[in-house]
């Protein structure tokens, strides 16, 4: 029913329309993470579409990481968060795109002087002032990542401007980064991190270091994130030269 009244109905091909419509339903949280989709046959019948169309739409969403197929069991809304490495999205955007509710618990949201690591990473001289954020990032009640960010005060004049999302605040100031360099490393999480992320001893994490730039080359952020290894997949599309 819901799928029939979607604005995506304007897309040219039926499978594209259906793919967009299912995506919207997931993004709006109408089908929840881990839940099953009706079978291909039932969907086709309910929507008076061919099974080929339904299969193609579902196949596309599996590729996008939004759906997972389990042999013999059916199609489910992915429990893992699959994040394309090539897109410059924020934590908040990634979660909303999955129908999840992003929120942050702040341990620090204050102005300070750059520490040596930040100064080197952002090419700032010692003594430069930055807004520093240290937060635990949740999807609803579930902690997913720990994040430490530094943003030059010149680009973010008041830490209070960050309500929950850093990129939203930067966007409002016209300072949303459009390019970033990112390094991804496997790590064994330390005791404090394990406690915050509610994980058992020995759990793996992914450390992501991101330096983001404005169009004019200025560095906007230096962020270190520790994502839960048991939930996050980072995927990239590769092309030969
Ligand atoms: C991701 C990136 C960080 C970035 C953050 C912004 O987690 N790895 O470098 O700072 O998104 O997210 P938000 O706008 O939700 O604060």
Cite the residue boundaries of each domain of the chain with CATH code 3.40.1410.10. Answer: 81-235
* Ligand 1 centroid from CA 166, angstroms: 7
* Ligand 1 centroid from CA 61, angstroms: 24
ipTM above 0.90, yes or no: yes
Cβ within 8 Å of residue 174, ≥6 positions away:
none
Question: Other C-beta atoms within 10 Å of 213: how many?
Answer: 15
Pocket test for ligand 1, best of 83, 91, 101 (most atoms within 8 A of CB): 91
The CATH code for residues 2-77 is 1.10.10.10
Name the helix (H) or strand (E) containing 119: helix 116-122
Pocket of ligand 1 (CB under 6 A): 90-92, 147, 149, 165-168, 208, 210, 221, 223, 225
Backbone angles phi, psi at 85, to 5 degrees: -70, -20
Ligand 1 atom closest to the Cα of residue 90 is 11
Pocket test for ligand 1, best of 225, 226, 231, 232 (most atoms within 8 A of CB): 225
Cβ within 8 Å of residue 233, ≥6 positions away:
65, 80, 81, 82, 83
* Ligand 1 centroid from CA 17, angstroms: 30
Task: Render pLDDT for 106-150 as a digit per residue (tens, 0 to 9).
Answer: 999 999 999 999 999 999 999 999 999 999 999 989 999 999 999
Q: How distant is the alpha carbon of residue 164 from its chain centre?
A: 14
Question: Other C-beta atoms within 10 Å of 51: how many?
Answer: 13
Cite the residue boundaries of each domain of the chain with CATH code 1.10.10.10. Answer: 2-77
164 vs 152: CA distance, rounded Å: 18
CATH class of segment(s) 81-235: alpha beta
Task: Render pLDDT for 142-183 as a digit per residue (tens, 0 to 9).
Answer: 999 999 999 999 999 999 999 999 999 999 999 999 999 999
* Ligand 1 centroid from CA 28, angstroms: 21
Predicted local confidence at residue 32, as pLDDT: 79
Exposure class string for 95-117: b at 16+ Cβ within 10 A, else e: bbbbbbebbbeeeeeeeeebeee
Question: 226 pLDDT exceeds 90?
Answer: yes
* Contact (Cβ atoms closer than 8 angstroms) between residue 220 and residue 214: yes
């Amino acid at each position: 029913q819901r799928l029939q009244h979607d604005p995506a109905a304007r897309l040219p091909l039926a499978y594209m329309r259906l793919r967009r419509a299912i995506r919207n339903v997931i993004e709006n949280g109408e089908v929840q993470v881990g839940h099953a989709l009706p079978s291909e046959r039932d969907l086709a019948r309910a929507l008076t579409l061919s099974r080929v169309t339904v299969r193609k739409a579902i196949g596309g969403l599996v590729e996008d990481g939004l759906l997972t197929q389990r042999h013999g069991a059916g199609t489910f809304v992915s429990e893992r968060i699959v994040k394309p490495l090539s897109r410059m999205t924020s934590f908040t955007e990634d979660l909303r795109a999955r129908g999840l509710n992003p929120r942050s618990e702040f341990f620090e949201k204050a102005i300070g002087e750059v520490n040596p690591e930040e100064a080197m990473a952002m090419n700032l001289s010692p003594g430069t002032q930055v807004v520093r954020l240290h937060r635990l990032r949740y999807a609803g009640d579930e902690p997913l990542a720990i994040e430490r960010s530094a943003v030059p005060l010149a680009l973010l004049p008041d830490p209070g401007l960050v309500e929950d999302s850093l990129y939203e605040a930067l966007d409002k100031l016209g300072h949303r980064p459009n390019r970033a360099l990112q390094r991804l490393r496997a790590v064994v999480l330390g005791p404090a991190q394990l406690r915050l992320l509610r994980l058992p001893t020995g759990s793996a994490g992914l450390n992501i270091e991101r330096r983001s730039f404005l169009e004019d080359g200025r560095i906007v952020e230096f962020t270190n994130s520790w994502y839960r290894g048991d939930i996050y997949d980072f995927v990239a599309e590769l092309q030969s030269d």
